[in-house]
Amino acid sequence: MSYTPPKVWTWDAENGGKFASINRPTAGATHDKDLPTGKHPLQLHSLATPNGVKVTVLLEELLAAGHAADYDAWLIDIGEGDQFSSGFVDVNPNSKIPALFDKSTGVRVFESGAILLYLAEKYRAFLPQDIEGRTETLNWLFWLQGSAPYLGGGFGHFYAYAPEKFEYPINRFSMEAKRQLDVLNQQLEDFEFIAGDHYTIADMAIAPWYGALVQGALYGDSATFLDTASYEHVNRWADTVMSRPAYQRGRMVNRKWGEAHEQLHERHDASDFDTKTKDKTAAE
């Protein structure tokens, strides 16, 4: 069925599909609610979507490397509209997770790529200090920030979430998702990690999206649909990065789905991974 756009578009909440209740064409808070705050300088407000995972992975990697980067991670349930509270909007006026507030500096940081860069610079870790290595890492970090919307909002939306399946957008975004996988595959043919021979914030940014995709963890049967097994070097890299202990911990933080032992709704101490996962708290 063809669609003729009206002369002036107007919002109809009934046509929003799965996410109709949390999407709207205006910004700002819908209700007053302060954000909680914990004992650590770094206060993260997030959910374990790919954009949320990239930040918690970095925080866990920083701690594993011996940096004083302990943090409180508070759950933002976007399905319940937590991102539209006045407290969250004060930290991120765009009402998207993740958002970070650093009590030690008074700095708010929003947009996941900006949070990665802020933390990498603050702790001088996982971002090369030489101009060539730093630039190559940022090349791939910004590549991810520009490419992931095609994978998530494009391919993922029309393949997995749209209320109806339409051939044109699925074909359009499948082509782009496969092109992006080929970009990564060709880069990783020559290097162990995305930006070269060192593990960086570029790997942490890309793995929750494209690593999860090739491992079959995004959008139902999309790995089969996109034949992700054919991207040999991406698969090798994904296995390497996503098997790291800090990555495994980071993907659990603020997670509300999957196996109960992999869900840590909030994280305030390293011991929470052993004592506060959903399987432990459900038994209380």
pLDDT of amino acid 252: 98
Distance between CA atoms of residues 82 and 258, nearest Å: 21
What count of other Cβ atoms lies within 10 Å of the Cβ of residue 229?
12
pLDDT of amino acid 282: 84
pLDDT of amino acid 16: 65
Phi then psi for 46, rounded to 5 degrees? -160, -175
pTM, two decimals, is 0.97
Cα of 60 vs its chain's centroid, Å:
15
pLDDT of amino acid 112: 98
Residue 102's DSSP bridge partners are 42, 107
pLDDT of amino acid 283: 67
**Per-residue tokens: 41:** 């300088």
**Per-residue tokens: 4:** 């003729």
Render the burial of 102-128: b for 16+ CB within 10 Å, e for the rest. beeeeeebbbbbebbbbbbebbebbbb
Ordered by where they begin, the domains of the chain are 131-250 (1.20.1050.10)
Is-contact 59 112, C-beta < 8 A? no
pLDDT digit string (tens) for the chain, length 284 residues: 688 999 999 998 777 667 766 788 999 999 999 999 999 999 999 999 999 999 999 999 999 999 999 999 999 999 999 999 999 999 999 999 999 999 999 999 999 999 999 999 999 999 999 999 999 999 999 999 999 999 999 999 999 999 999 999 999 999 999 999 999 999 999 999 999 999 999 999 999 999 999 999 999 999 999 999 999 999 999 999 999 999 999 999 999 999 999 999 999 999 999 999 999 998 66
Pairing mode, strands 42-46 and 107-110: unpaired
